[in-house]
Amino acid sequence: MTTAEFQTTTIDILRHGQTVADDILRGRIDVALSDHGYQQMQQRLGPLIEPTAPWQQIITSPLQRCAAFADDIKQQHGTPVTINQGFLEMDFGDWDGKPFAELKANDPVLFSKIWRQPHLYSPPNGEAFTDFSTRIGSAWNSLIEQHCGQHILLICHGGVIRALLGHIMETPLTALSRIEVPYACLSRVKVHHQQGEDHWPQLIFHNVHQ
């Protein structure tokens, strides 16, 4: 089998670190990283970026808690950065930016249902989880097609990572909240491409500590 017939794409997936607003529901609200959150991301990547970053491309959500760190890697290592709207966090509608304590106190039943049954319930005026999952799957498929055979860093959000892992592992939507995705969570997926066959993704690790 020739190289042209078989290729592997490697995608490192990094969640943003802690933000300056740590006690709110963060969807489309554009809050900055805290100093500690920035350090979390630096420490998690650890030896991957020393002495040089290994990625041909960095893909990032446009929100500053992801994009600012991506831009710093670009400045330090010269790695190209592409902002991709498809990897935005879920739009939580009227709940976006509200404190968790307030949401739980005002509507504890709906809050619990959204967490346990996201395919059936959504925040008021928010993005349906099924639509969110479809959006993330489409963005992922486009990334794979555009960067086949490369090593990519994707910087995004907790909900996005859960949806991605669900897409890759063919996990039911009802089970995605069982996946822990802490701040600065680092995962790796390899996608194997064989001519004439569907892409075959493989989860190499999740929430690893460098």
What integer is the mean pLDDT of 182-197?
A: 92
CATH architecture classification, 6-91+129-206: 3-Layer(aba) Sandwich (3.40)
- pLDDT at site 209: 72
For residue 205, name the pLDDT band (cuts at 50, 70, 90). very high
Burial class (CB in 10 A: 0-12, 13-18, 19+), 73: buried
Cα–Cα distance measured from residue 207 to residue 115, given in angstroms and rounded to the nearest whole number: 21
pTM above 0.75, yes or no: yes
**Cis (ω within 30 of 0) for the bond into 51?**
yes
| Measured distance CA(178)–CA(110) in Å, rounded | 18
**How is the chain split into domains, by residue range?**
6-91+129-206
Q: What does the pLDDT look like over 26-40, one tens digit per residue?
A: 999 999 999 999 999
